[in-house]
Amino acid sequence: MYRFMLSARWIGFAVFVVVLAALCTRLGFWQMHKLELRLDRNDVITKHFSTDPVDIATALPSGQEVDGTTEWTRVTATGTYDLDQQLTVKFTTRDGAPGVDVVTPLVLASGDAVLVDRGWIETANTVKRPQVPAPSTGEVTIEGWLRQNNGAGGAAVKPSEGQIRAISSDALGEVMPYDLVDGYVNLQSQSPEPAAGLAAEPKPELGQGPHFFYALQWWFFALLAVVGYFWFARAEAKERRNPTRVDGFAGEPEKKTRQSNFPTHA
């Protein structure tokens, strides 16, 4: 009764189910891989946050880039802010509110500079550069976290009327009058404090995220595809064994015609 599964239609259906189940299984393992990466990131963050801050020159020797092992290192740096090169990162939000991050280069004693994300301020979500609080004047000492450059490219990292959409020391180093330390610093505290402060970057979430449940979801879809294939096959086999009648009423035997009591004439 299952010979029909050798037909072209059912073979094609089987191939579709196998591909679908394989894809869903692969996506499940991909989510588990993302979970492993997140847990590794959490370990790195926890390790860095449990140690004392170090001078940025020690954390990032000359020419070294911020990578997955050095990101979130707590660092200190001393220099002066260059207000002429200050930028705002537009279209950023916090808790659904629109605003901008304020990025100001801090020029070090070596003559190099490090980009400092001084914090966030709520503003109208427009394309015009908003007015933001000025940083402290003179020499300041900052403390914050090292961050990697944003992976965006093109117009997103090129200044336009004092604004950018993503922070990249590589791109900004081409337009600023000094060499930039790789990456940037999320400011947490500084001395002396400015007259008007900005909202500091909140600590990163250290939870597992939804990746484990997404993996289970994809594997459930894979199982559902396989089970569904055999369910449809069983349903068709049952239909072939007991085909639905098309004569008379559905589900009822055809009624016999009543014989006439009158004699038949030749």
Residue ranges of the chain with pLDDT lower than 50? Answer: 246-266
Residue 182: which of 158, 154, 204, 150 has the closest Cα? 150
86: tokens are: 């200050």
Torsion of CA 42, 44, 48, 51, to 10 degrees: 100
pLDDT in tens, 146-195: 999 998 888 899 988 899 999 999 999 999 999 999 999 999 999 998 87
Distance CA 34, CA 56 (A): 30
What is residue 264's predicted lDDT score, i.e. its pLDDT? 46
pLDDT in tens, 35-52: 999 998 899 899 999 899
Distance CA 123, CA 240 (A): 69
Distance spanning both ends of the chain, measured CA to CA = 50
What is residue 198's predicted lDDT score, i.e. its pLDDT? 92
The string of DSSP letters for the chain reads: --GGGGSHHHHHHHHHHHHHHHHHHHHHHHHHHHHHHHHHHHHHHHHHHTS--EEHHHHS-TTPPP-TTTTT-EEEEEEEE-GGG-EEEEEEEETTEEEEEEEEEEEETTS-EEEEEEEEEE----SSPPP------SEEEEEEEEEPPPS--GGGGS-BTTEESS--HHHHTTTSSS-EEEEEEEEEEEESPPSS--BPPPPPP-S-TTHHHHHHHHHHHHHHHHHHHHHHHHHHHHHHHSPPP-SSSTTSPPPPPPPPSSPPP-
Q: What's this model's pTM, rounded to 2 decimal places?
A: 0.73
What is residue 244's predicted lDDT score, i.e. its pLDDT? 62
Burial degree of 104 (CB within 10 A; 0-12, 13-18, 19+): buried
Question: Longest C-alpha distance within the chain, in Å?
Answer: 128
